Amino acid sequence: MKPISSLDINRIGFLKGLVVTTAIWIQSKDITDGFYLIHKFGLSGRQSEMKVV
């Protein structure tokens, strides 16, 4: 098995956050909230991925 680099982990966390925020953003249809959520979930997604490892 190939070891997972921290770059891959960041990418996975970022993509997960992006998918979640896109779904929420579509529901809320508020651009300001959307950007706030992307910022919030994007960062928290990466942090939670790092904690798992």
pLDDT digits (tens, 9 = 90+) for 19-53: 887 777 677 666 666 566 666 666 555 555 545 54
d(CA 7, CA 49): 11
List all residues 6 or more positions away from 40 whose beta carbon is below 8 Å from its beta carbon.
none
pLDDT for the residue numbered 53:
45
Q: Tell me, what's the pLDDT at 17?
A: 82
Residue 5 has which token pair?
Answer: 């680099």
Predicted TM-score (pTM) of the model is 0.34
Domain boundaries of the chain, sorted by first residue? 6-52
Contacts of 33 (CB under 8 A, 6+ apart): 25
